[in-house]
Amino acid sequence: MTDPIAFIDLAAQRRRLGSAIDDAVLKVVNHGGYIMGPEVKAFEADLAAFCGARNVVSCANGTDALAMVLMAKGVKPGDAVLCPTFTFAATAEVVAWLGATPVFVDVYEQTFNIDPNSLEGGIKTARRLNLRPVGVIPVDLFGQPADYDTVESICDREGLWMLCDAAQSFGASYKGRQVGTLGLATSTSFFPAKPLGCYGDGGAVFTEDDELAAVMRSIRVHGQGSDKYDNVRIGMNGRLDTMQAAILIEKLKIFPEEIAARHRVAKRYSELLGDVAAVPEVPQGVTSVWAQYTLRLRGLDRETFTADLKAAGVPTAVYYPRPLHEQTAYRAFPTAGNGLPAAERLAQEVVSLPMHPYLTEGIQDRVIAAVKDASMRQRKAAAE
Ligand SMILES: Cc1ncc(COP(=O)(O)O)c(C=O)c1O
């Protein structure tokens, strides 16, 4: 029996970083600045230098990052915020938190990201329902930036802001610009499985808008004014732990190398799997950070396929088995135009393969062979 393959190998990265992490954590334990200690500010400066954003507001997780922007923009009941339906629940959840209405929009099948035609339909749907469209939250699914130029031109025309949900894409780029410098603001997550992950929860917001950043810094600590016992607005406890900031400082140092390694894995997967399944399409001028490497299984039974891979020791995951507009909690919210067929199809077809920077060519070969075997078996059975 060969060794089981990890879907995401956090242990390999832990071995690589070794004492750098131990020392960083111990330093925080000893200096005692557990809440908003010096590492938090230092990490924010490192993030700003990494992506070129003017303001970085770190926070407790990627969900709070989204919420802080919406709260700072004063999103309220009667407002509509347009979100892709093929995403993690947090994207729409924060809209509903504030009593506003998420309006679900379809995605492109080739990139998994928001479809601007459907976005136009969603804006019309919102207005027909007497809702006030205020903003759009494009999501960079699986690490690949959305079609920002087109979405932004619609936002400009319609007077909407654009909040980029880059929970999965920090480290990617769009037409020469790093993720973190697009739209009104960009949110990200440092959940352990994300390309830049910590050892717990963490997140950040990036914005060029100084005023928005100042309001979010206040929201992050219970709407503080001159100090935390001066409450000038409704806020939250949204701080990033100092310990997580210390860990992230070390992880960010090796992040560019890890991104390059992810690119190598994805390139090889795409070269060798393109003839058995639909491989991800990355448009010209865009780079993905490959949070996930996701195939579309055209004409194959997904359950049989994943069972075959599992038998070969290859783990897989399905992101996402149901689009949000079909989820119990979100079913009652409006959808764009005449339905969201691409997302519904994707939910049936997608499967993600092991992806991380420490995936050796030997392990890649095992994954590739298992995918080829599983698809060949089904095609052969269908032909008989
Ligand atoms: C697209 C998307 N948005 C938001 C989030 C929320 O991030 P967090 O889990 O850090 O709250 C996630 C994370 O899983 C995500 O994938």
pLDDT digits 0-9 by tens, 56-101: 999 999 999 999 999 999 999 999 999 999 999 999 999 999 999 9
Percentage, residues of the chain above pLDDT 70:
99
Q: What is the structure's pLDDT at 383?
A: 85
Q: Compute the chain's Rg from CA coordinates.
A: 21
Phi and psi (nearest 5°) for 316?
-135, 170
Atom of ligand 1 nearest to the CA of 140: 1
The best mutation among 189, 236, 244, 352 to test binding of ligand 1, ranked by most ligand atoms within 8 Å of the C-beta, falls on: 189
The best mutation among 63, 93, 140 to test binding of ligand 1, ranked by most ligand atoms within 8 Å of the C-beta, falls on: 63
CA distance 290 to 268: 13
- Nearest-5° angle of CA 167, CA 168, CA 169? 100
* Cα 191 to ligand 1 centroid, rounded to whole Å: 8
The residue with tokens 């993905």 is 288
Instruction: Label residue 3 left, alpha or beta by phi (over 0 means left) and psi (-120 to 50 means alpha).
Output: beta
Residue 4: which pLDDT band, with cuts at 50, 70 and 90?
confident
CA distance 83 to 64: 17
CA–CA distance from 35 to each of 28, 67, 231 (Å)? 10, 21, 19
Report CA dihedral (356, 318, 206, 251) to the nearest 10 degrees.
-20
Report the DSSP pairing between strands 132-136 and 185-189: unpaired
Condensed to tens digits (0 to 9), the pLDDT of residues 170-216 reads: 999 999 999 999 999 999 999 999 999 999 999 999 999 999 999 99
* Cα 67 to ligand 1 centroid, rounded to whole Å: 11
The best mutation among 168, 205, 236, 292 to test binding of ligand 1, ranked by most ligand atoms within 8 Å of the C-beta, falls on: 168
Residues in the chain: 384
Report the DSSP pairing between strands 177-178 and 173-174: antiparallel
CA distance 378 to 371: 11
Instruction: Write the burial class of residue 272 (CB in 10 Å: 0-12 exposed, 13-18 middle, 19+ buried).
Output: middle
Q: Whose CA is nearest to atom 8 of ligand 1?
A: 62
* Cα 88 to ligand 1 centroid, rounded to whole Å: 6
CA distance 247 to 81: 34
Our measurement of the distance from residue 340's CA atom to the centroid of its chain's CA atoms, rounded to an integer in Å, reads 21
The residue with tokens 């654009």 is 162
Residue 277: which pLDDT band, with cuts at 50, 70 and 90?
very high
Say if residue 13's pLDDT is above 90. Answer: yes
Q: What is the mean pLDDT of the chain?
A: 97
Query: Which residues, in sequence order, are CB contacts of 209 under 8 Å at separation 6+?
Result: 55, 184, 185
